[in-house]
Amino acid sequence: MSCFVCYRNRWRNGTIFATSDEAPQFSAEYTQDDSPQLFWRSVEIDETVTIDCDLGAEYEYDFIAILGHNLTANPATLIKIIGSHNSGFTSPDVDTLTHHSNWLYEILDAPRTNRYVRISILNATNPLGYLQVGTIVVGKGEAFNRGPSVPYQAGQKNETEVEYSPSANMFVVQEKPSAFVINLMFIGLDQASAVIVETLIKECGSFKAFVLCTDSGNPNSKSDWLVLTDQGMLTFDHTDYWTWNLNAIEVL
């Protein structure tokens, strides 16, 4: 069992250059957004649908996530990630992903290095009559030398929105869905792990989402799609020994 994070989502920073099917107002570019309210959606389900992304350069990836999907389990359902050095996808790397009814997290058997990545989906029995995918993650997991030292702690956060009249009198209260606030403490991180944490904080801040997997042997059940609520304390205790207090909130 190992714990890792995936914070460099190459798909997010790439360029969508082709789709085989796309419903109006449900653009494939929405798969690059961390918002759970935005989706790509197909018009048809009878044939394989694809979304093609140019990552902008050759990058290594070994971790895939397909979030906010409506894909259904069926022996005929096929979910693939296809990577290539060229936009024609000749001589591609093809990996078949295992369906998961909730958000799908997958660690590839071996790292791939490609510039062009295609998500390919066949789900002809989908009862809704269309396929839907929210955020797509294509990146590389960075492993910590230690897992969380303090047991997983989670508490609900109620982000109630209050609106005021021009006279500053409250007149509308709209309750937002509760989200889980996650607190984990990592004690005894080595120097390499501390560098991963520092880079994660610099790249994501409190607005870009990242994946935390606390058990690489079971990513679908042990992964979270998170945003930092603060940078947390990364403390140097002594040589090659750091402590990090992770505070984050799940993306709903």
Q: What is the mean pLDDT of the chain?
A: 90
pLDDT band at 232 (very low <50, low <70, confident <90, very high): confident
Q: What is the pLDDT of residues 147-167, one digit of tens each?
A: 998 666 556 555 555 554 555
Quickly list DSSP for 136-157: EEEE--EE-SS--SEEEEEEEE
**Rounded CA gap, 26 and 42, in Å?**
8
**DSSP assignment letter at 87:** T
Q: Domain check: are 17 and 107 in the same one?
A: yes
Q: What is the mean pLDDT of residues 89-100?
A: 95
* pLDDT score at 182: 87
Angle at 52 between CA 222 and CA 119, to 5 degrees: 35
Structural domain count, the chain: 2
Q: Domain check: are 154 and 217 in the same one?
A: yes
pLDDT band at 139 (very low <50, low <70, confident <90, very high): very high
Q: Domain check: are 117 and 180 in the same one?
A: no
pTM of the model: 0.88
Q: What is the mean pLDDT of residues 8-35?
A: 96
Q: Is 201 helix (H, G, I), strand (E, B) or coil?
A: helix
* pLDDT score at 161: 55
Helix (H) or strand (E) holding 203: helix 191-204
What's the domain range around 119?
4-143
Which tokens sit at 173? 């209260």
**Rounded CA gap, 82 and 63, in Å?**
13
Q: Domain check: are 127 and 154 in the same one?
A: no
Final residue before a domain boundary, out of 143, 159, 180: 143
